[in-house]
Amino acid sequence: MLINIYRFFVYATSKITTTTSLPDLIGESRKHWIVRSSQTMTNYLIPMSLCIVVLILCVSSIAHSSSDWKATLKVSGGGIYSYCIFGVKDEAIDERDNDWDVPAPPGSPNEMYIYTYFPHPEWGGTFERFRQDIKAPDLPKEWIFEVSSNVSGGLTIQWSDLKNAIPDKEAVLVDIDGGGSEIDMQTSSSFIFVNSGNPRRFLVRISETEIISVPNPPAYLVGKSRKGKVVLYWKKNKEIDLAGYNIYRSTTSGSGYQRINSSLISINKYVDGQLIKDNTYYYVVTAVNTEGGESGYSNEVAVIAK
């Protein structure tokens, strides 16, 4: 029976066009609803009502577009790390939701530790710290998270999967307890701060982005090391509304890029002199137009400072 229903929908979906009405589809398809059983070799009709119900469910499933997404905040230092997850889901709510909000696991204060969590004492109940905080999908939305650690020195927050999760959204990290500085999470993928030993609060703000055109990514980026400096060249973009270029550098291939130019570069060449000898640096370049639209990254080049 299920095989015959499948055969009907293979035929029916092949007949659907933008001008096909449901009555026309049913009328045409009646000719094909008589199927032959390979076991009994008798003819029977698939009930029309069942076919219509399944068709509606299939069309409804195809038409539904989910706005769900999640991203990870990973905090690392001293050879250990912790993480928390934030995002939105169609079925979620902004308050405590037992289906999607996950309490943070307890830790041991007798060992080296990093705790990363969303504090929600206002929710009441047994748990006040959460590892996962999922909200309703309407934007803008804000998440406050805390980092508590006994690791001395610098700690690094990373969000490497955010750009792929919401490439069309504006994402800002606010260092609440560090003077309120803001980091664009779409152009940077990490933030480093010095641990004071006290819990440090951060805020993530996600909002809709005004849709603007962006240039093509710069092409054929090459880099050469010369007398303690790195010289970068790339093919000049041809957009008539091109405003300039941004240069990004990292010490890790494929991630951790930080913009190193204070203002847009007007030519297709850049000299980086803030380097440590024998270190390997990874560079990418973006193009920016007069509307402020920024392209994706160019190809990456690796250069050893000499």
Verify that 271 and 285 share a domain, yes or no.
yes
Q: Which tens digit of pLDDT belongs to each residue from 148-204?
A: 999 999 999 999 889 889 988 999 999 999 999 999 999 899 999 999 999 999 999
Report DSSP state, residue 262: S
Domain assignment present for residue 213? The answer is no
Q: What is the pLDDT of residue 160?
A: 85
pLDDT per position as a tens digit, 72-82: 999 999 999 99
Are residues 204 and 228 both part of a single domain? no
Co-location of 223 and 185 in the same domain: no
Phi, psi of 94 (to 5 degrees): -75, -25
Whether 173 is covered by a domain: the verdict is yes
* Inside any domain, residue 87: yes
E runs forming strands in the chain:
34-36, 43-45, 69-77, 80-88, 102-103, 114-119, 129-135, 141-149, 153-158, 169-175, 181-184, 190-195, 200-208, 219-226, 229-235, 242-250, 258-259, 269-272, 280-289, 301-304
Residues 6+ apart with CB under 8 A from 42: 36
Note the pTM of the prediction, 2 decimals: 0.53
Decide if 202 is inside a domain: yes
Domain residues for the domain of 45 are: 2-63
214 in a domain, yes or no? no
Domain total in the chain: 3
Percent of the residues in the chain that have a pLDDT greater than 70, as a whole number: 78
Choose between 68 and 13: higher pLDDT.
68
- What are 240's two structure tokens? 């008539």
Based on the domain organization, do 201 and 258 belong to the same domain?
no
Do both 37 and 77 map to the same domain? no
Rounded to whole angstroms, how far apart are CA atoms 76 and 299?
28
- Pair 119, 203 in one domain: yes
Q: Tell me: do 88 and 203 sit in the same domain.
A: yes
